[in-house]
Amino acid sequence: MSILQDPPLIEVRNLSVHFATPEGDTQAVRDVSFAVHAGETVAIVGESGSGKSQSMMAAMGLLPGNARVTGEIAFKGRNLLTLPRRALRELRGAELAMIFQEPMTSLDPLYRIGDQLIEPIRRHSRLSAHDARARALEMLGLVRLPEPERMMRSYPHELSGGQRQRVMIAMALTNDPALLIADEPTTALDVTIQAEILALMADLQKRLGMGMVFISHDLNMVRHIADRVCVMRAGEVVEHGPVAQIFEAPQHPYTRALIDADPKGHKPPAPTNAPVLLHARDVTVTFGTAPHQVQAVRGLSLDLRAGETVGIVGESGSGKSTFARALLRLNQSEGEIRFDGVPISTLTRAQMRPYRAQMQVVFQDPFGALSPRMTAGQIVTEGLLVHRPDLTRAARDAMAAQALTEVQLNPEFRNRYIHEFSGGQRQRIAIARALILKPRLLVLDEPTSALDRMVQAQVVDLLRDLQARHQLTYLFISHDLAVVRAMADRVMVMKSGELVEEGPCAQVLHAPRAAYTKRLIAAAFDTQAMAPA
Amino acid sequence: MHDHISAHSQSLWSKAWTRLKRNRAAMASLTYLVLMVLACSFGPMLAPNSYSELFQSYTRVPASLSAYPRAEQIGPAIEATAARARLDLTGWQLQGDTVVIEVSARRAIDPRAVQYFDRSDLFADTRLQATDDTHATLTAQIERHWFFFGTDATGRDLFARTLIAGRVSLAIGVLAGLVAAVIGVFYGAIAGFAGGRTDQIMMRVVDVLYSLPFIFFVIMLVVFFGRNFLLMFVAVGAVLWLDMARIVRGQTLSLRRQEFVEAAEALGVSPFAILTRHIIPNLLGPVIVFLTLLVPNVIILESFLSYLGFGVQEPMSSWGILIAQGARAMPSANWMLAFPALFLISTLFALNFLGDGLRDALDPKDH
């Protein structure tokens, strides 16, 4: 921030990116200008489809063949857009480095970590094999990976997601780049690990004095690491300024909406004397056969009262989704499950069918949860074919229109195919499909995780509203504590298939007892800089 | 909500069709294939000669757009026919399409001698005018024949034969391909959807069938059921569904884990309805692509079987048989190989192009 008088390291001027698609030309980036100085971190923030990644891909020359770029990207005085491929390739990796979102697929599974680190070092410098190895070890130490010697000999599949992302950072930094471009480097990681990686990146950027472009969909996340912020929407920069100004005096209504995008409010408390709707005791789910057995859920119990919302929180792999599927009898489990007093764990498929209408589920992925070959109306009414075979086609159609209205979608859309809807609209269709059967229990398996922050808040509002109107009981699964706080009466925290902590929502979030819960809360709310709750 | 949705709705199929229409190579291939199917279906009826008629005077004549006989063929033909009829040729003259032949004989000329001329493929409507007992004038019409692709070793019109062979090859290709697709899709989808032990058993059966030598299997079928055209479909289809079943099973396994299948289960939809409503419609993309690549396979397999003598029988033919015959006649009569090979290769080429185009058009990721 103190070096603004120097010429900028990279300066983007009037950058526009068009894509020629068979359906016509689309403009992904329009007239974007910004600059990054040495030693400065600029965050580019926007929701999916806002063009935030495309503008940096243009700088790296990594856009697909059907893209047309106009404008100028000056890096140390050279226009990257007119640079010959060969010269650009030499800049990439040496002076311009990039970290991608997905640490699982960015490393080649066939080579050891050491070999993957040493190869780019030797390509860009004249170091001997021995010196390159020493440099690789130094880099692994720099990103604070334990036992760098052992890491060098490991294959990618032996590392966790966070460790792989550290390796990717080490790889990007080996040649002392002048500019590091980080494209959502923490999005695919668990919350606790996200915080560690963010801290590491902020620290390295200061120590190495490089420029950094940090691309993220979450404005609140970049608060602690960015010097300046560019807010993008629909390919345009809507606001641009120092981080303090953006957060304290946001000018553009869109920026204000993004800052406020966390779901707010609380669920009105449920009556404590309501009957128990779902009762589960010692539910255990085991995958695989004898030698390779994995216990995904170990002896979990739950009492869910009518009108109540229980949130299940945990990182990926904690068994929370598996537990919910076991309660719905979508996978095999041991233990006792009673729905409305009826033991359902021993029912056959046919005996189970009448209860299916009463316990419904909404899944995480709005793209995978709806069949791409069916119209919205067909999807919403599919349950009626099973549970209300007496209805005529016209009656079903009327109910579909009504269900779509209920989730605030235009009922005219019921003859459209799924690929024409946005993520948030798809999630509403999935909710309508569950609600049309008038269920009593709705299991929500990360219903907001795949959505943009602002759409999340809308869906949370919708879910709370529907719960109040139809006296629904929710089992709400999420890794996102901000969403859970807005939705749940009680919270269960899970780790490795076991219950870590359980209690009323406010108590667990404000006075956590277990160390793991404390870590989870610290990671979630520190990086997101929550407004005081 | 943003009402960004376009005015009219398009299913994935109509979208794929729009995208396919933009692919020029695929559309050219599709047009070519349609023309080929029309030509092979109706061509044999419109061709100047029947595919089974033997023209003994025209064995292995080269392809030509002009009519046979050629001027230089007429003289030798008259001499040969006259010799066969035991007549001495004293002279002949060509007047337009009519040939006037002067003959003599040692004994009286039998009026039935005209039959020798009529029997030849060159002359028709021969009339005899006796000047005296041992001299006569014959007037005959020259019969014109067109052999666009030449003739084969027994003097059959290769044009008609190539078209009728195409009818057989394409019919076997499409029908056996469909047989393979239907069996393969249902078998693979059931195995993949049922999973567990059912899947294991079903796929082991496929493995066992894979290990049977295909030719022995066909010979066994032919021995048991005799030779017939339908058997070809069954034999080829029954073997090629194995590939289809494996592909479909793999696709089904990944579809089965999709959340929309799980959602249907949570709705209480029966397994059969899930299979027909969710799994199979989503499989059709890869299946159609595989089918366009399967048809060429079947055509080649059929050629091989016909070559071995297990396929269609003379006078019926297929491209494989014609190519086999053409290959043997290659040094002296290259047209016998060139035309059937051109038809087969261009058809396979078009099918592969179309398959490629379909794969691009049906890939939902390629928006």
Q: How many Å from the N-terminal Cα to the C-terminal Cα in chain A?
A: 32
For A445, which residue in chain B has the nearest alpha carbon? Answer: B259
Token couple for A303:
């009492």
Whether residue B258 and residue A368 make contact (CB cut-off 8 A), yes or no, is yes
Q: What is the pLDDT along chain A (533 residues), one digit of tens a residue?
A: 444 467 888 999 999 998 887 667 888 888 999 899 988 999 999 887 788 888 888 888 888 878 888 998 998 888 888 888 888 888 887 888 888 877 667 788 888 998 888 888 887 778 888 999 998 999 898 888 888 888 899 888 888 888 888 898 888 888 888 999 998 888 777 777 888 888 888 888 888 889 999 998 888 788 888 999 999 988 889 999 999 998 888 999 888 888 887 777 788 887 778 888 999 999 999 887 767 788 889 889 999 999 999 999 988 778 888 999 999 998 888 999 999 889 998 888 889 988 999 999 998 887 888 888 888 899 999 999 989 889 899 999 999 999 999 888 888 888 888 888 888 889 999 999 999 999 999 999 988 887 887 888 888 999 999 999 999 999 999 888 888 988 899 999 998 889 999 999 889 988 899 988 988 888 777 654 433 33
Q: Does B71 touch chain A (CB under 8 A)?
A: no
CB-neighbour burial class of residue A290 (10 A; exposed 0-12, middle 13-18, buried 19+): exposed
Instruction: Give the Cα separation of B86 and B82 in Å (integer).
Output: 6
Distance from CA of A439 to the nearest CA of B (A): 10
d(CA B101, CA B81): 11
With a threshold of 0.85, tell me whether the complex ipTM lies above it: no
B186 vs B279: CA distance, rounded Å? 10
Strand A359-362, strand A441-445: pairing: parallel
Question: Residue B109 corresponds to which tokens in the numbers above?
Answer: 């000329």
Strand ranges (E), A381-533: 441-445, 473-478, 490-495, 498-504
Residue B80 to residue B91: CA distance in whole angstroms: 13
Contact B129, B119 (CB under 8 A): no
**Contact indicator for B155, B55 with CB cutoff of 8 Å:** yes
CB nearest A417 (choices: B12, B273, B278): B12
Partners of B15 on chain A (C-beta within 8 Å) are 419
Cross-strand partners of A478: A313
Give per-residue pLDDT as tens, A126-148: 888 899 999 899 989 888 888 88
- Name the pairing type of β-strands A309-313 and A490-495: parallel
Asked if B267 lies within 8 A of A372 by C-beta distance, the reply is no
Inform me whether the C-beta atom of residue A254 falls under 8 Å from chain B C-beta atoms.
no
Query: In the numeric block, which tokens belong to residue A304?
Result: 């869910």
Whole-angstrom distance between the N-terminal and C-terminal Cα of chain B? 23
> Cβ B9–A361 below 8 Å, yes or no?
no
Among the partner-chain residues B9, B19, B277, the one whose CB lies closest to the CB of A417 is B9
Strand, helix or coil at A14?
A: strand
List all residues of chain A from 17 to 46 with a beta carbon under 8 Å from chain B. 21-23
Residues 227-266, chain B, touching A (beta carbon < 8 A): 258-260, 262-266
Q: pTM for the complete prediction?
A: 0.75
- B268 closest CB neighbour out of A22, A365, A387: A387
Distance, in Å, from the CA atom of B159 to the CA atom of B163, rounded to the nearest integer, reads: 6
Token output for B241: 């569904």
